[in-house]
Structure 1
Amino acid sequence: MYKVFIIEDDALIGDMLSMYLAEEGYGVERAENGKSAMAYLELHQPDIILLDIVLPDISGIELCDELRKKSTVPILVVSMKTEVMDRVHALNAGADDYMCKPFSMRELSAKVAAMIRRTHYNQQRQEQPSSEERPFPSQGPNKIFLNYDKRSLFVNGKYVETTFSEFEIMKLFIANQGKVYSREELINAVRGFDSFVNDRAIDVHIGNLRKKMEEDSKQPKYIRTVWGVGYKFVNA
């Protein structure tokens, strides 16, 4: 049974989510504030987190950032806030998707299922040592490579945490390094998992990857901007 952890202080919405997802066959746990959420996550590992942005003791964005430091579990933000910048802040903090209240319970259930399915499909793939898991050749000492089975990104041999959307973008880059990708092509790479995805969201994902991978994110060596077109990856 897959486990869903809901962080929601509104009793009505929390109960509604809990009952609906339990009827769908999920194991559901719930916290009403950030403190109890963090205490729960010290002891348990859910398959997905549903997170409200407005909580009584901490900003949901701050909590999302703290959760992402500790875990790569998928985070679906569910919020009354509908402004684009609220969504951008959530993405910057490490959220994988964003839904605005009110929402369709069927759509939410479909998102939860898709996020869990994507996660566990990749975690359960049989280990197959291949060129995908070895560093890609480069002319210098810098090497970036992916372990597809464990959904892991390594920069110069050091593990770097990524969100699921960031990993999907890197998969595309690694498979075709040097190729220039438009924002639309990158949108298509994550569409269906990150439903809030547009040009601005892609720029946020790229910015986050640069901060994690580059020595100087303002002068990137790996993910380079091709002005007027999009981005390309150079493993140099």
Structure 2
Amino acid sequence: MSVTSTASSSEAVVLVVEDEPAIATAIAQRLASEGWTVEIAADGHAGIAAAHRLRPDLVVLDLMLPGIDGLEVCRLIQAERAVPVLMLTARDDETDVLVGLGVGADDYMTKPFSMRELVARSKALLRRTERALRAAEASAANQPGEPPIAIGDVLIDRAQRRVSRAGAQVHLTPTEFDLLVTLASSPRTVLTRERLLAEVWDWVDASGTRTVDSHIKALRRKLGADLIRTVHGVGYAFEPPAGTED
């Protein structure tokens, strides 16, 4: 099933993988009203096949699916081609969220959610993808890009969007990469959750502070718990590795 809007806007292709027909249709119609082409897949196997065929710009993926769950669908989709994934979950379970982020999801929302927020997060994911593509194109054309950030044994190549620690490559999702760059660009400076939401997610309100917390936990799991300091009630700060000179 596909829904296409004739509204003039960015021509994004969105795949919605959701087994509840009423929810899937409501999401598809709302996203189509933004001018995007939207296709629905009702189970995990259909979602994988649709992602292979459509090469979507964004996947909205339910965690609980019949047959093959959303985590495995996300892993298989990302193994074939990197694409931003917004995961939907009926359970506000931190373990599910962290596993989802670990297999390649960029963001998550807990049901029930507002369609306005779904659209806002989808737009933010698409904008970040567009920025990454422009940076990659500039790098391929040998145009000067943003210089890498090197702090201790952490190297962040902003032009190629690659991260390594102690020489070992670390795979980050696009959201995790942007969050790390924002923090590392101002080492030891405490950035509030609201500022991170504005700079990384392009959100204008503070409704997604738990999303920030979940992504921070994913970064710590991948890069080490010593790099990001929590300032309770305020936000987070990037701490240069031990032994790094100022």
Tell whether the structures are fold-level matches, with TM greater than 0.5. Answer: yes
Is 1:133–1:145's contact at 8 Å kept on the other side of the alignment?
A: no
The match for 2:147 is 133
Alignment of 1:13-162 (within 5 A): 13-83=23-93, 86-125=96-135, 126-127=138-139, 128-130=143-145, 132-134=146-148, 136=150, 142=153, 144-148=155-159, 150-155=160-165, 160-162=170-172
> CA offset at residue 59 of structure 1?
2.2
- Distance in 1 between the 2:49 and 2:177 partners? 28
The residue number in structure 2 matching 1:197 is 209
Please tell me whether the aligned partners of residues 144 and 155 of structure 1 are also in contact (alpha carbons under 8 angstroms).
yes
Query: Identical aligned pairs, as a percentage?
Result: 29
Measure, in 2, the Cα distance between the counterparts of 1:173 and 1:187. Answer: 12
Secondary structure of the structure 1 residue equivalent to 2:16: strand
Q: TM-score, normalised by structure 2?
A: 0.70
Deviations 1:111-157 (A, max 9, x none): 22222122213322544425x3346375xxx4512224x53334567
Following TM superposition, by how much is the alpha carbon of 1:48 offset from its aligned partner in structure 2, in angstroms?
Answer: 0.7
1:169 aligns with 2:179: yes
For the residues of structure 1 that align with 2:124 and 2:100, how far apart are their CA atoms?
19
Gaps of 5+ in 1: none
Cα distance per residue 1:85-134 (max 9 Å; x no partner): 5444433443222223333333322322222122213322544425x334
Check conservation: 2:74, 2:104, Cα contact below 8 A.
Answer: yes
User: Shift of residue 189 of structure 1?
Assistant: 4.9
CA 1:68/1:204 → structure 2, altered by over 3 Å: closer, same or farther?
farther
The gaps in structure 2 that reach 5 residues or longer are 1-10
Other structure's SS at 2:91 match? coil
Query: Match for 2:112: what amino acid?
Result: P
What is the Cα deviation at residue 47 of structure 1?
A: 0.9
What's the CA shift for 1:22?
2.5
Say if 1:87 and 1:183 are closer, same or farther in 2 by CA, change over 3 A. farther
**Residues 208 and 82 of structure 1: CA distance in aligned 2, closer, same or farther (over 3 Å):** closer
Q: Distance in 2 between matches of 1:68 and 1:195?
A: 28
Change (3 A) 1:106 1:151: same
Distance apart, 1:204 and its partner CA: 4.3
